Amino acid sequence: MVANSRQVTRDSASADSVRGAVEAIDNVQPELSYVDVRRGILTGLVLRTKRFEIVDGATGATYKGYMTDDAANDANGLSVGDQSFVTARIRVETPFTNDQDDTTGIKQVLESIAAFVPAEGGTEGDLGREQSTP
């Protein structure tokens, strides 16, 4: 069936042709973007499997996925819950797609995380800075 029509057609392709097309699509590298969460809530953390969940305090967006080894080391010792405020950098990998609204296959990878530290003279409600480590 042809999209947006009532026309039915039949076509065929060789196995090699189909295999080549699938390989070409698989070889397309995902689009990379980064999200810097200045004040998020750490709502989930499993160090053994390197999984995380963070809710952005400014936008309400939820980010969840895997974490790098460095991020897992950074997260070790952080508490989880409604009062666990963090700053984080998340890499978003979007696979090849021609539909901008399709979120299928998107991967979110936590690259760094630190306890939220309010700006000097500020309060927990203020935007802050990432805690520095020596």
Domains and CATH numbers, the chain: 32-117 (2.40.50.320)
First to last CA, the chain: 62
Which pLDDT value is given to residue 58? Answer: 94
Closest to 92 in 3D by CA, of 38, 53, 35, 28: 35
Report the percent of the chain where pLDDT is more than 70: 81
Which pLDDT value is given to residue 133? Answer: 36
Taking only the tens place, the pLDDT of each residue in 90-130 is 999 988 765 666 667 899 999 999 999 987 765 554 444 33
Residue 1 scores a pLDDT above 70:
no
Residue of 93 and 17 predicted with greater confidence: 93
DSSP state of 83: T
pTM comes to 0.68
